[in-house]
Structure 1
Amino acid sequence: MIGLIRVFVCVLILALGASAGAQESSDSGWKARAITRGPSHHFFGYYGVSPWNKSGRRMVCLEAESQDHLPEPDESALICLIDVWTGDQKYIAETFAWNLQQGAMLHWDPKNPETHILFNDREGDAVVGVSLDVNTGERETFSRAISAVSSDGNHALSLTYGRLQRMRKVVGYKGIADPNPDSNAPDNDGIFLLDLVAGESKLVISIADIYERMLKRNPELEGADVWFNHTVFNKDGSRFFFLARAKSKDKRIGRKNAMFSANTDGSEIWEVVPFGKKVSHFDWRNDSEIIVTALAKPGDDSLTHLLFKDRSTDPPRALAPDFLIGNGHCTFGPDANWLVTDPFVRDDNSRDLLLYNVETDQRVNIGTFQLGEYAHGDLRCDLHPRWRSTGDAICFDAITPDGTRQLHVAERVR
């Protein structure tokens, strides 16, 4: 009965939100509004992955009953399907592997971009990847969790969420154990390549390998715990990048980040951004250029949006440092020229959603959106922008006036 009530509430609230969501607008040529509403919370999670299917007719999001704590192992989130054309919404699945920052790593499956989604769930004490036909409910389970999906849908990158839970709980799943809790740099863990056709997986880059590379330049990291996070394929699926993170148990070394790229099989590893640059967020512009937020030079006290060339020693290009101020969840649109990002949090706990054209220097402020008490900390609600494939709409999460976390869409109106 409880499950049926949750389904009914999901449908009712989403339907109301589609027509009566709180609206924010500006004179930017874009108009933004909430497309869901409380009292439950509706959000997608991470940035750079589109919640729209290929045609743009459907969207997916999560529904959660609370946002005031990190999810417990027995707390589920509903996966809701929104028909953008008709306003119809329905519950299609439930997941027990989710968090407020990254959701359930939802993706539309590139092999079936109209009808199938991929996401993470739990089976016993394990995190698994799931493929779901949103029309029939047919479900296929993979042996490992999904962290990123290639553009052809043949492969996924997989991380060990138990280690993430121990080292960086905001992107982990509570109750999942690290298989190597006593090893600072295990050789049997790291980035796995999951074959979504055959269902097989293999370790392609070990934590131990990257740790040894790091020590050559950063001997102070000796003994530090190392883990990986934030994997993203390039546009043709030939390479991917990832964050390597390290911190010492005695807190002698706070969290340090570096960014590496590699071929899909784990070969030709390249250090794109070394330790000490505070690299934070990033996206591929194309198959060879990468946007990151990091320190531009020693002595900087604020992160800058920098455009790097993969496998190149050329210095990066700083993008509009007087406009794209501070750290932001930067992601390129389908034309590879327009960048959307959400830089620093303002003193009133609001955040701007900004567009920048890297070729013309054109600048647009879509609007300013309130995050309230969820602007900072483990429970924060980052905007985490994501493009529609047509380039004329952007989805993001924000806090509405009633204090709930809701899915928003900004659409170009002229």
Structure 2
Amino acid sequence: LRWDGDRARFNHEPGPLVYTVHPVTGAALSLGFGRLARLRPEYGYPSLTDEHPDDPSPSNDGVWRVDRGGEHLIISIDQLDRITADGSERAGGELHQHVNHLMFNPSGTRFCFMHRFVRTDGILHSRLFTSDLEGKDIRLLFEGLVSHYDWRDDETILAWAGKRSLLGSANAEKTPAQHAMTIARRGLKPVYYAMGKPRFLMNKIMKDSYLLIRDVDVRSPNAPEPEPFAKDELTCDGHCTFNRGGDEPGRWVLTDGYPDMKSRQPLFLWDCHNNRGYEIGRYHTPRELDGDIRVDLHPRFNQDATLVCIDSAMDGKRGMYVVDVSPLTQGES
């Protein structure tokens, strides 16, 4: 996907790579795909190389604004590294860092993204940021574990997240209990994988959960605490997304889950109006597709929230499937 004239399209001509485009304003953002390929291979492009492989937090890579004039760096990784909530000089320091998961808010006035690095204890540390389109008003919203997310509205993000205090912070000295938990985590990881990676355990043990996070910097004296969402109901990490169209935009949330012990991926629908959840189905996925190469459902709504499109390998190859949810989204009041 490249920027071509006044729109993004697929072509083979040289030009800036585009990560995301706002559907109404046409604003486009990008990031260092070569660095992403080195640090998170499942997300980057293997044909690209990191231009700064020896720099843990480069000042000339990060988030880019893309327009007809080309690419313009608006936020550097070095900037993000210097933003801390605990008074530390740097968040990652000598640890190699990257950005990922850029996403515009509904109106296109701001976007969110993650600043990430692997800690010395092997834990992936995620920091959820937002910014205006000029990279001037940068806000740190949350850090610890942040996985998948979506904007509910222009001021609120729904995210699977957790502070993971049991494992300690990125910079502070661990307590004996935190050291013990970190060691236990390493030892139990093979068992966790053998069980089919039951993500509800992360909810029960690490207290990860879906949270509604306001677009307010945690360094602000009036920063609100995240609000639990679908507590004790949606208890596993998934690719959450709100409906943007239909009679009631923002009423419905789609999310999925990772394969269970029978290699089935679940699809869930949550009604924010009635605080009620539905399991739409479970879809087989080949066991060998459980690494960097995998097929997550990635559910998304059509314009009126009557149909859901999912990715799946249920028939032995990657495909796109449509699921009718209109009896629920059109029948509930």
Q: What band does the TM-score fall into relative to the shorter chain?
A: 0.7 to 0.9
The structure showing larger relative contact order (alpha-carbon pairs under 8 Å, at least 6 residues apart) is 1
Query: Letter of the aligned partner of 2:208 in structure 1?
Result: L
Q: TM-score, normalised by structure 1?
A: 0.62
Are the structure 2 counterparts of residues 220 and 202 from structure 1 closer, same or farther at C-alpha, using a change threshold of 3 Å? closer
Partner of 2:75: 205
Matched, 1:151 2:23: yes
Of residues 38, 59, 73 in structure 2, which corresponds to 1:166?
A: 38
Cα-to-partner distance string for 1:209-261 (whole Å, 9 max, x where unaligned): 0011148448673201010000000011110000101126xx54432111100
User: C-alpha displacement at 1:340, in angstroms?
Assistant: 0.3
Counterpart contact for 1:350–1:375, Cα < 8 Å: no
User: C-alpha displacement at 1:344, in angstroms?
Assistant: 4.1
CA distance in 2, matches of 1:285, 1:379: 29
CA distance in 1, matches of 2:105, 2:241: 12
Counterpart contact for 1:319–1:358, Cα < 8 Å: no
Partner of 1:353: 267
CA distance in 2, matches of 1:292, 1:408: 25
Counterpart contact for 1:397–1:407, Cα < 8 Å: yes
Cα-to-partner distance string for 1:343-380 (whole Å, 9 max, x where unaligned): 34311121211011223202121111111214521112
Q: TM-score, normalised by structure 2?
A: 0.76
Partner of 1:410: 323
Query: Letter of the aligned partner of 2:292 in structure 1?
Result: D
Query: Letter of the aligned partner of 2:141 in structure 1?
Result: V
Q: For structure 1, which runs of at least 5 residues remain unmatched after alignment?
A: 1-118, 122-128, 133-138
Are the structure 2 counterparts of residues 411 and 120 from structure 1 closer, same or farther at C-alpha, using a change threshold of 3 Å? farther
- Superposed, which structure 2 residues align to 1:81-120 within 5 Å? 119=1
User: C-alpha displacement at 1:412, in angstroms?
Assistant: 2.6
Are the structure 2 counterparts of residues 150 and 388 from structure 1 closer, same or farther at C-alpha, using a change threshold of 3 Å? same
Counterpart contact for 1:302–1:326, Cα < 8 Å: no
Partner of 2:94: 223
- Superposed, which structure 2 residues align to 1:227-266 within 5 Å? 227-247=98-118, 252-266=121-135
CA distance in 2, matches of 1:330, 1:289: 14
Counterpart contact for 2:164–2:206, Cα < 8 Å: no
Partner of 1:387: 301
Of residues 149, 154, 164 in structure 2, which corresponds to 1:287?
A: 154
Partner of 1:307: 212
Query: Letter of the aligned partner of 2:126 in structure 1?
Result: N
Counterpart contact for 1:355–1:364, Cα < 8 Å: yes
CA distance in 1, matches of 2:273, 2:88: 35
User: C-alpha displacement at 1:318, in angstroms?
Assistant: 1.2
* Identical aligned residues as a percent: 29
CA distance in 2, matches of 1:297, 1:176: 34
User: C-alpha displacement at 1:323, in angstroms?
Assistant: 2.0
Counterpart contact for 2:81–2:91, Cα < 8 Å: no
Counterpart contact for 1:143–1:199, Cα < 8 Å: no
User: C-alpha displacement at 1:316, in angstroms?
Assistant: 1.6
CA distance in 2, matches of 1:194, 1:142: 14
Of residues 263, 281, 286 in structure 2, which corresponds to 1:372?
A: 286
Query: Letter of the aligned partner of 1:181 in structure 2?
Result: P
Describe the SS at the equivalent of 2:79: helix
Matched, 1:175 2:47: yes
Cα-to-partner distance string for 1:75-127 (whole Å, 9 max, x where unaligned): xxxxxxxxxxxxxxxxxxxxxxxxxxxxxxxxxxxxxxxxxxxx259xxxxxx
CA distance in 2, matches of 1:411, 1:285: 23
Of residues 127, 141, 147 in structure 2, which corresponds to 1:272?
A: 141
Partner of 1:320: 230
Query: Letter of the aligned partner of 1:131 in structure 2?
Result: R
User: C-alpha displacement at 1:296, in angstroms?
Assistant: 6.4
Are the structure 2 counterparts of residues 165 and 331 from structure 1 closer, same or farther at C-alpha, using a change threshold of 3 Å? same
Describe the SS at the equivalent of 2:153: coil
Query: Letter of the aligned partner of 2:318 in structure 1?
Result: R
Describe the SS at the equivalent of 1:368: strand
Give the length in aligned residue pairs.
276
Counterpart contact for 1:120–1:145, Cα < 8 Å: yes
Counterpart contact for 1:325–1:344, Cα < 8 Å: no
CA distance in 2, matches of 1:225, 1:301: 25
Are the structure 2 counterparts of residues 356 and 142 from structure 1 closer, same or farther at C-alpha, using a change threshold of 3 Å? farther
User: C-alpha displacement at 1:311, in angstroms?
Assistant: 1.4
Are the structure 2 counterparts of residues 388 and 326 from structure 1 closer, same or farther at C-alpha, using a change threshold of 3 Å? same
Counterpart contact for 1:157–1:193, Cα < 8 Å: yes
Q: CA RMSD in A?
A: 2.3
